[in-house]
Amino acid sequence: METLLQVLFNGLSVGAVYALFALGYTLVFSVLGVINFAHGAIFTLGAYFTYLLIGGAVGANGLLAGLQLPFALPFWLALPLAGVAAAALALMVERIAFRPLRDRGSDPLLALITSLGAGVILVNLIQLLVGAESYSIPVGTLGSLPAALSIAGAKVRSVQVILLAIAGLLLAALSLWIDGSRSGKALQAVSEDPITAQLLGINSTRMIQIAFGISGFLAGMTGGLVGLSVSIAGPYFGIGYGLKGLGVLVLGGLGSVPGAVLGGLIIGLAEACVPADLSGYKDAVSFGLLFLVLLIRPQGLLGRPQSSKV
């Protein structure tokens, strides 16, 4: 029997992953007004980077079969490095899939397709290089930690504790940055009104790059964390999370940071509350919830209502 605390813990750690995912979408959405469909692929790559950096070996099925880095980093170092690599990748995606459209003043809708194209390229590149098999990040890389901790009588896996702690740290750092720093304020200005922000001397191209960089960093870190707590289930494993992240994004309200966190936690907890014999319906629960919220509050829980000026 699971205790309430365990359910809560499971819900929170899944919810935190969704929230980080949604935040990555939200950052890009708030500056560009479009969804980056390559986000799931960047998350996936983050997981693979982490795996390689801790000294994991590539399986037999890809072009890089048998590859192993000559060094093995501890997880706590590998994870942020994977985040940085993922951020670099996100900047590349911005450069090839978003900027050319912006330079030509094309319909932003097209970025859905170009970013999808970038995602397809990345995912299949992974498959080509390292094969379709699943990889797991051994808990041993964390050092000598017990597999489970006992908190108030409930057994909680220690990787979940780590996941929650890092996710919480990232969320706190992000909100501090947005509300407290100059560049965070500039980001808000660009999302309010890009043209006015530009007139006020804010370099919007730079802000867009910052948004992509941070969103890529978050995605990479999240990928590594999920790889640790679950496993890396092949090159396509980011798609399911990406989809859920989209749901969370809309549930919380597009462009709202607290909304993304709230949405993530709600969906994570709702899924954790689905009883085991109905676990097949888990995904239906979260999307059903999203659907209902949209019908009652079309702008999402914490989003601002849309209006068009006459």
Q: Which CB atom, from 100 or from 138, has the smaller least distance to another protein?
A: 100
> CB of residue 105 vs another protein: minimum separation in angstroms?
9
Structure tokens that stand for 208 in this block? 């867009």
Q: How far does CA 152 lie from the centroid of its chain?
A: 31
> CB of residue 37 vs another protein: minimum separation in angstroms?
7
Structure tokens that stand for 204 in this block? 């919007």
> CB of residue 81 vs another protein: minimum separation in angstroms?
26
Q: What burial class does residue 307 get, using C-beta atoms within 10 Å of its C-beta: 0-12 exposed, 13-18 middle, 19+ buried?
A: exposed
Q: Which CB atom, from 112 or from 154, has the smaller least distance to another protein?
A: 112
Q: Which CB atom, from 77 or from 120, has the smaller least distance to another protein?
A: 120
Residue 103 backbone phi and psi in degrees, to 5:
-60, -35
Q: Which CB atom, from 224 or from 268, has the smaller least distance to another protein?
A: 268
> CB of residue 238 vs another protein: minimum separation in angstroms?
12
- For residue 37, what are the contacts with CB-CB under 8 A and spacing of at least 6? 112, 115, 116, 118, 119, 242
**Strand partners for 155:** 150
**Footprint of another protein (CB under 8 A):** 34-35, 37, 96-97, 100-101, 104, 106-107, 109-110, 112-114, 116-122, 124-125, 127-128, 239, 243, 246-247, 249-250, 254, 280-284, 287-288, 290-291, 294-295, 298-300, 306, 308, 310
> CB of residue 275 vs another protein: minimum separation in angstroms?
14
> CB of residue 30 vs another protein: minimum separation in angstroms?
13
> CB of residue 67 vs another protein: minimum separation in angstroms?
17
Q: Which CB atom, from 72 or from 278, has the smaller least distance to another protein?
A: 278
Q: Computed from CA positions of residues 276, 277, 281, 285, in that sequence, does the dihedral angle turn out positive or negative?
A: negative
Report d(CA 91, CA 28) in Å as an integer.
Answer: 11
Report d(CA 31, CA 28) in Å as an integer.
Answer: 6
Q: Which CB atom, from 224 or from 264, has the smaller least distance to another protein?
A: 264
What one-character-per-residue DSSP string does 235-303 give? Answer: TTHHHHHHHHHHHHHHHH-TT-HHHHHHHHHHHHHHHHTS-GGGGGGHHHHHHHHHHHHHHH-TT-SSP
- For 33-58, where are the alpha helices, taking DSSP H only? 39-53
> CB of residue 146 vs another protein: minimum separation in angstroms?
36
Q: Which CB atom, from 7 or from 112, has the smaller least distance to another protein?
A: 112
Each residue of 159-174: b (16+ CB within 10 Å) or e? bbbbbbebbeebbeeb
Q: Which CB atom, from 46 or from 252, has the smaller least distance to another protein?
A: 252
